Amino acid sequence: MKYHISLITVSLSVLLTGAAWTAEREVIKARQDGKAVPENVMKEIHEKLKTPYKYGVVIKGEGGKLADCPNVFRHNGKWYMMYVSNPGQGYETYLAVSDDLLKWTPLGKNLTFTKSGWDAWQADTSIALYDPAWGGSYELQQYDGKYWLSYIGGALQGYEPDPLAIGMAWSNEPAAAKEWTRIAENPVLTRDQPDIRPFENTTLYKSTIIWDKQETLGYPFVMYYNGKRADGSERIGMAVSKNMTRWSRYGTEPVIDNGSGNSGDPQITRIGEVWVMIYYGAFWKPKAFDTFACSYDMVTWTKWTGPHLVEPSVPFDNEFAHKPWVVFHNGVVYHFYCASGDQGRVIAVATSKELKQ
């Protein structure tokens, strides 16, 4: 009798193990096949992301100049924001600090005009290797003993003059208003490289880089960025790297394509088993707004078609409400964005709960 019970137990164990293995295999196969994210999951993600309460303007550009492109991270117990301002010649990057994600104090610049070379008059940064977990640490990770960022660089003066390319820089002090070191291999992605794709053949824009330690695509570092083609429309594509200094384009087509207008400034976060890309849209629907897409495999993205995450609705953002950076902290979602309205171009925040100023 004991022998028969043991045999049955072993058989059940094998069946259960086999079932678990089969389920895992099906998940892997679904990812490899580029499975779409179901509608009910998209709705659940939207419920987590939505921020219906507009707290207001939190950053204005130095001397009344425009402020744009917020990127938020945590370091040594404080919150920091990299953002850009354009005094007329082009973009430079600034740093601000906060204790509560609502009141921000500018600290100074950390990427400035070189006045010579391929990036003489444009230096618009994006933080890299941040913790992408939803509600995670939001701290920057070090690779090769350094903190990293990517940036838009250009040789011409003005507001985003073509061509723009992507460069890399590093620092040992990410929370200091000090110049970051640009790498010798710059620029790492340009419109003149042989693997250029049609959707990015005019200029390259804002990028974000995550460290995928599972190497889902065979590479640890994955970059998403928007590129512009000759008709002026922008789409989001991918690049990959094994060392943060040499980058190769991934795939032949954009991963986010809304047919017309602009899609850009992606931020990547991970909610459970789902990769989420929060990005801005403009002109394929009225004005400019923030929306999102979801993926299981980092390549095939299901676009959200429901209500925007933020959109123009109040005087300070009645023209544009776009270019997102979203943080989930202590039960509150903070959605930072570039607002264009009666206060010029500024950085505002919307939240998932109503917070008093």
Same domain flag for 92 and 181: yes
Q: Does the residue 105 lie in any domain?
A: yes
Q: Does the residue 21 lie in any domain?
A: yes
Same domain flag for 25 and 151: no
Domain total for the chain? 2
Q: Does the residue 312 lie in any domain?
A: yes
Angle, vertex CA 66, rays to CA 323 and CA 131, nearest 5: 35
Helix (H, G, I), strand (E, B), or coil: what is residue 336? strand
Same domain flag for 20 and 57: no
CB-neighbour burial class of residue 245 (10 A; exposed 0-12, middle 13-18, buried 19+): middle
What mean pLDDT do residues 326-341 have? 98
Domain containing residue 56: 39-351
pLDDT digits (tens, 9 = 90+) for 87-103: 889 999 999 999 999 99
* Tokens standing for residue 303: 């676009």
Same domain flag for 179 and 230: yes
Q: What pLDDT, on the 0 to 100 scale, is given for residue 1?
A: 39
What mean pLDDT do residues 73-79 have? 98
- DSSP letter string over 265-298? EEEEEEETTEEEEEEEEESSSSSEEEEEEEESSS
Same domain flag for 165 and 17: no
Q: What pLDDT, on the 0 to 100 scale, is given for residue 24?
A: 42
Residue type (1 letter), 263: S
pLDDT digits (tens, 9 = 90+) for 148-166: 999 999 999 999 999 999 9
Same domain flag for 56 and 188: yes
Same domain flag for 229 and 284: yes
